[in-house]
A and B are shown apart, each in its own frame.
Chain A
């Protein structure tokens, strides 16, 4: 099963920013504005952080922002805090009978 490509890890000091990329194809990320981002702490269920490329659900801090250019989407966490240390996954609607796909996941470490 195909997956969107994310870097395995990213890190930053408290207060700094970190940006995670999510690369797909024109059949998923590049073709639709249906990119979402999820945060997952160890042993917990994922939590929706961004939907429709750059929209934040109620309750998600504005330190989290999303963008997209071509086949690559990005999540930026500004003003890093200790509680931001987690795994992050992107996802996208996909055509060609694939329907839906997640990214490979990125572990964010707050130094």
Chain B
């Protein structure tokens, strides 16, 4: 069965960077894109970007352009999301999720809480 497992919670200081990993299994890794979505406490879902694992091609939300980098290690079926220049308002749960049919998102990771605190 498809599984999407993310790295654990992290605490960072303002201005630092965070890297969240997302290991997938149960399907052919290079066949499906992977999205990153975040959710600040009590707030809505917010799309950050996605990667095509076969060629590493990425698309980012304009809001995060320049601060977010999504990469992958096909040999490990793992995708990474790097967010730099962290601000207090970046405190959120970060989800990675597999792209399904017709621009849906069908399998979600458990979420990774990133807390930005001095």
Q: Which residues of A line the B interface, CB within 8 A?
A: 1, 3, 32-34, 36, 38, 40, 45-48, 51-52, 55, 57, 89, 91-93, 97-105
Q: Which residues of B line the A interface, CB within 8 A?
A: 35, 37, 44-47, 49-50, 59, 61-63, 95, 97, 100-106, 108-111
Please indicate the chain A residues that have their CB under 8 angstroms from the CB of B35 in the complex.
Answer: 100
Please indicate the chain B residues that have their CB under 8 angstroms from the CB of A103 in the complex.
Answer: 44
- Provide the bound-state CA to CA distance between A47 and B114, in Å: 21
Task: Known A-B contacts: A45-B109, A46-B108, A51-B100. Give 12 more (CB < 8 A).
Answer: A1-B46, A1-B62, A3-B44, A45-B108, A47-B108, A48-B100, A48-B105, A57-B106, A89-B45, A99-B59, A100-B35, A104-B44
- Provide the bound-state CA to CA distance between A53 and B59, in Å: 23
- Provide the bound-state CA to CA distance between A36 and B101, in Å: 10
Listed from nearest, the 3 A-B pairs whose CB atoms lie closest are A51-B104, A52-B102, A45-B108
Residue of B at shortest CB range from A34? B103
Given contact pairs A3-B44, A38-B45, A105-B45, A98 touches B100 in the complex (Cβ within 8 A): no
Is the pair A99, B111 in contact by a Cβ cutoff of 8 Å?
no
User: Which residue of the partner chain, among B97, B102, B106, B109, contacts A33 with CB atoms under 8 Å?
Assistant: B102
- Provide the bound-state CA to CA distance between A104 and B47, in Å: 12
Rounded to whole Å, the gap between the CB of A24 and the closest CB of chain B is 13
- Provide the bound-state CA to CA distance between A13 and B11, in Å: 42
Please indicate the chain A residues that have their CB under 8 angstroms from the CB of B50 in the complex.
Answer: 99-100
